[in-house]
Amino acid sequence: MKTPLVAVTMGDGAGVGPEVVVRALADPEVRSLCRPVVVGDLRRLGDAAHITGVDVELRAVDGPEAAASEPGTIDVIDLGLLPADLPYGELSAVAGDAAYQYVKVASELAVAGRVQAICTAPLNKEALHAGGHPYPGHTELLAELCGVDEVSMMLSTPTVKVIHVTTHIGLVDAIERIDDALVERTIRRGDATLRHAGLARPRLGVCGINPHAGENGLFGRGEEAEKIVPAVERCRADGLDVQGPLPADTAFYLASRGDYDLIVAMYHDQGHGPVKVLGLETGVNISVGLPVIRTSVDHGTAFDIAGTGRADAGSMIEALRQAAALAPSP
Between residues 216 and 189, which one has the greater pLDDT? 189
Mean pLDDT of 88-112: 96
Residue 34: pLDDT above 70?
Answer: yes
**What is the C-alpha separation between 40 and 144, in angstroms, rounded?**
20
Q: What is the mean pLDDT of the chain?
A: 93
Please check the confidence at residue 279 and state whether its pLDDT lies above 70: no
> Tell me: the pLDDT tens digits for 50-63?
999 999 999 999 99
315-320 mean pLDDT? 93
pLDDT, tens digit, 9 for 90 and up, residues 117-137: 999 999 999 999 999 999 888
pLDDT at residue 291 in the model? 83
Of residues 108 and 325, more confidently modeled: 108
Residue 78: the pLDDT is: 98
CA distance 94 to 86: 9
pLDDT score at 139: 84
Structure confidence at residue 157 (pLDDT): 82
Q: What is the pLDDT of residue 1?
A: 66
Two domains, one topology: 5-149+290-326 and 152-277: yes
Domain at 5-149+290-326, CATH from 3.30.70.1560, 3.40.109.10, 3.40.718.10, 3.40.50.10490: 3.40.718.10
72-76, 147-151, 214-218, 317-321: which has the minimum mean pLDDT? 214-218
Q: Give the rounded percent of residues in the chain with a pLDDT score beyond 90.
A: 75
Q: Please tell me the least confidently modeled range out of 74-88, 207-221, 250-264.
A: 207-221
Q: What is the mean pLDDT of residues 9-33?
A: 96
Buried (b) or exposed (e) across 286-315, using 16+ Cβ within 10 A? bbbbbbbbbbbbbbebbbebbbeeebbbbb
Task: Count CB atoms within 10 A of the CB of residue 53.
Answer: 9
pTM of the entire structure? Answer: 0.85
Q: According to the model, what pLDDT value does residue 280 have? A: 57
> Which pLDDT tens digit goes with each residue over 209-241?
999 988 888 888 999 999 999 999 999 999 999
- Burial of 124 by CB count in 10 Å (0-12 exposed, 13-18 middle, 19+ buried)? buried
Provide the CATH number for the domain formed by 152-277 in this structure: 3.40.718.10
Distance CA 179, CA 171 (A): 14
| Reported confidence tier of residue 281, pLDDT bands at 50, 70, 90 | low
Residue 81 near residue 97 (C-beta atoms within 8 A): yes
Q: What is the average pLDDT across 101-130? A: 95
**Residue ranges per domain, the chain?**
5-149+290-326, 152-277
Alpha carbon distance 194, 240 (integer Å): 12
Kindly tell me the sign of the dihedral angle through the C-alpha atoms of 278, 281, 287, 293: negative
